Chains A and B, each alone.
Chain A
Amino acid sequence: MSKLLITRPEHDITTRYLAKWSEEIIKEAQAKGMGVIDLHRTKANRERVIGVMEKISPRLVVLNGHGSKNSVAGHEDEVILESSDKKAVKSKIIFARSCQSAQGLGQKSIANGANAYLGYKEDFLLAYNPSKISRPLEDKTAKLFLEPSNAVAVSLLKNHSTGYADKKAKDLFRRNVKNLLVKGPSGDDYFTVKYLLWDMTHQVCLGDMDAIL
């Protein structure tokens, strides 16, 4: 049975939203009977992440957190995965919901033996309603962004291919854009259209597009 490793740092508003919305991914994995290694808050540190990736070798790795071209961070922005981590990424399907990491870390991970790397080439933008920060799952503005990006991991957990997961997420971004355009400028979240298009455009699937768990 393949396993899921998920990191959920939670030290600022963005990571809080990612952590809460990742609960859907964890539930989906548990419903499929998959073993879940959930590194939440302080557990989302480099030592644990690399240890789990190298020793337990989960097939699917979902990384939430801030990122840069060559790394993804965990709790309190500690770098948890970087381009030089060869052994850790081998034979993995990695989804990094973080800024820019698909540019460098993604390419390098594929070169280092990861099967696929799904992520964002540019900053991941997230609009939200500040009155909902204590209840991120009730934030309809954030849902426009996080439901589509969740679909990458959820599709993989439903045994779809990496290419399909990428396309499914982009289609959900597109559906949200379409609905907002139909409602027009008087709609509450019309202003998010450009940010949704930005995330959709910069989401990529590197490596094997036919990989499954």
Chain B
Amino acid sequence: MVEDLEKEQLKDAEQDISRDVKDLVIARLDIFPSDRKIAIGSSGEFSKEELIEHVKKGDEIGNKAIEVELAFLRALKDGDLLREVLVPDEYE
């Protein structure tokens, strides 16, 4: 009984996180200009509005957009982005 309750709570928490992540990604996609598109391999080309729709649906393209966004945010949080851009340019 207690186990079932814990499982239920865990499932609710995961759904909340998933919803929060989707909301975050959709908010961040807002800076994507309306006059640009992104090509994602053989999956096709997508405008901001199309990407947001895919994120809302939670399909393969939406999950890819989430993966890219989270990778970027992790690079920001871990300082990787700062380290990357602070590397001196050898070729300039």
Contacts and interface: CB of A to CB of B under 8 A. Distances in A.
Main secondary structure of the interface of A (DSSP, over half): helix
B91 A172 contact: yes
Contacts of B90: 171
B91 A197 contact: no
A66 B42 contact: yes
Contact of A99 (B41, B68, B71, B72): B41
A130 to B, nearest CB: 5
Interface string B11-38: 0000000000000000000011101111
Contacts of A190: 31
Interface in B46-86: 64, 68-69, 71-72, 75, 81, 84-85
A198 B68 contact: yes
Given A191-B32, A193-B72, A194-B68, A99 B42 contact: yes
Interface residues of B, number: 27
A18 to B, nearest CB: 10
Contact of A126 (B38, B71, B87): B38
B42 A168 contact: no
B84 A128 contact: no
Contacts of A17: 39
Given A125-B68, A198-B71, A168 B91 contact: yes
Interface of B: 31-33, 35-43, 45, 64, 68-69, 71-72, 75, 81, 84-85, 87, 89-92
Interface of A: 13-14, 17, 66-67, 73, 77, 98-100, 123-131, 141, 168, 171-172, 174-175, 177-178, 181, 185, 188-191, 193-195, 197-198, 200-201
